Amino acid sequence: MTLVETTSREDLYPSRTPHLVPGWLRRQEPTVYPSDFEGPLSDGQLAFYDIHGFLCLEDWLDDASTEELKRESDRLGSSAQIDGERVVGEPDRNVIRSIFEPHATNQIINKLTKRPELAGAARQILGDEVYIHQSRLNFKPGFEGKAFDWHSDFETWHVEDGMPRMRALSCVVLIHENFIHNGPLMIVPGSHRVYLQCGGQTPENHYRQSLQKQQYGVPDRTQLKELMSQHGIHTMLGKPGTVILFDCNAMHGSAGNISPFPRNNLFVVFNAASNALVAPYCGLKPRPEHIASRSFQTL
Ligand code: 6CS
Ligand code: FE
């Protein structure tokens, strides 16, 4: 596939624009980019990612690093104060939901993100140098953790952060076992190839609400049903140390955790250096650096 040439301000993926009747757009970019980067993924794994828009890598991280990550995330989770900025709580309650930018504040997590198993795999798929667009620890405590409704991350990163192209991915490190009962990540295989435009218009400082519960950038339910009737839903289960890679435009979500068992995961979003952010397409001021990095420091 050849890239359609654009100027950086041209909006290839309009969404939440005035008078828009939300429809489906075709993806304009490859999923796996041509690459000279050495990396840990086999041709078969790259082909799977290309077709389905995700890849589940069991036992990807060694036990010692997985244990260390668990210790650090427990420590950060129990000492952090919810402030609605870097540390986000569940709506209306004093329960932690996410800590943003742990790679910038914690040495162990910082080192982990640079490892070939994570950054190396991202370079291999994106065919470019990469930097961290966003990182976060997502906490889904037993009995308390709430859902993440269906969404494409790219829709938000494009509209609210000014990410021009689909050349980014999420890398999820499982800290606890993710099993059917504790609100594992669900994904619609193949959904990365279509872009569901969303209705409504982004309010200012939308991130303060959206990181607790998303109300804009939410796809139309009839379209979601059609998408899932076509492609089905895949549930990503795995033990601690499993790593899931998924495309920035893959439709995904997760249910609340009413089981007694916590489900904490580390998310690291790698973006291609050539896909650096421009001004947000919604016309509002950019979200803060700890949610969408504009420092573009390659790893
Ligand atoms: O707004 C964001 O960037 C975030 N929101 C969701 C629901 N997923 C990705 C990302 O962390
Ligand atoms: Fe997401």
Residue 248 pairs in a beta bridge with none
Rounded CA separation 122/186 (Å): 21
In ligand 1, which atom is closest to the CA atom of 148?
A: 7
State the average pLDDT over residues 43-62.
98
Q: How far is it, in rounded angstroms, from Cα 279 to Cα 20?
A: 20
Q: What is the pLDDT of residues 67-91, one digit of tens each?
A: 999 999 999 999 999 998 899 998 8
Q: Which two tokens stand for residue 142?
A: 């037993």
Is residue 210 over pLDDT 90?
no
Going from the Cα of 5 to the center of ligand 1, the distance in angstroms, rounded, reads 28
Taking CA atoms only, the protein residue closest to ligand 1 atom 8 is 153
CA of 104 to the centre of ligand 1 (A): 18
**Per-residue model confidence (pLDDT) at position 2:** 47
- Quick: pLDDT tens for 144-175: 999 999 999 999 999 999 999 999 999 999 99
From 99, 187, 209, 211, the mutation candidate for ligand 1 (largest count of ligand atoms within 8 A of CB) is 211
Please tell me the distance between residue 291's alpha carbon and the centre of ligand 2 in angstroms. Answer: 13
Q: d(Cα 171, Cα 270) in Å, to the nearest integer? A: 8
102 band by pLDDT with thresholds 50, 70 and 90: very high
Mean pLDDT over residues 111-123, rounded? 98
Mean residue pLDDT of the chain comes to 94
Best CA proximity match to 221, nearest among 18, 19, 54, 22: 22
What are the boundaries of each domain within the chain?
Answer: 24-275
Closest ligand, as measured to the CA of 246: 2
Mean pLDDT over 137-148 rounds to 95
From the CA of 291, give the closest atom in ligand 1. 3
Lowest mean pLDDT among 56-65, 134-143, 198-207: 198-207
Ligand 1 binding residues, C-beta < 6 A: 134, 136, 148, 151, 153, 156, 210, 214
pTM of the complete model:
0.95
pLDDT of residue 7: 55
What is the model's pLDDT at position 5? 53
- For 286, residues 6+ apart whose C-beta sits below 8 A from its C-beta are 161, 162, 277, 279, 280, 292, 294
Ligand 1 atom nearest the C-alpha of 161 is 3
What local confidence, expressed as pLDDT, does residue 8 receive?
58
Are the CB atoms for 274 and 167 separated by under 8 Å? yes
Flag whether pLDDT at 215 surpasses 90. Answer: no
The secondary element (H helix, E strand) that includes residue 160 is helix 153-161
| Ion ligand 2: protein residues whose beta carbon lies under 5 Å | 153
The pLDDT score that the predictor gives to residue 6 is: 55
Which run of H or E residues covers position 271? strand 265-272
Residue 15 predicted with pLDDT over 70: yes
Q: Residue 253 C-alpha to ligand 2 middle, in angstroms?
A: 7
What average pLDDT does range 254-276 have in this prediction? 97
Give the span between the Cα atoms of 211 and 89, in whole angstroms: 9
Sign of CA dihedral 70, 76, 79, 81: negative
Inform me whether the pLDDT recorded for 234 exceeds 50. yes
Q: How many whole angstroms from 87 Cα to the centroid of ligand 2?
A: 17
Q: Helix and strand tally (H, E) in the chain?
A: 8, 13
Chain-centroid distance, C-alpha 206:
18
Fold classification of 24-275 (topology level): Jelly Rolls (2.60.120)
Ligand nearest to the CA of 249: 2
Average pLDDT score over residue span 57-62: 97
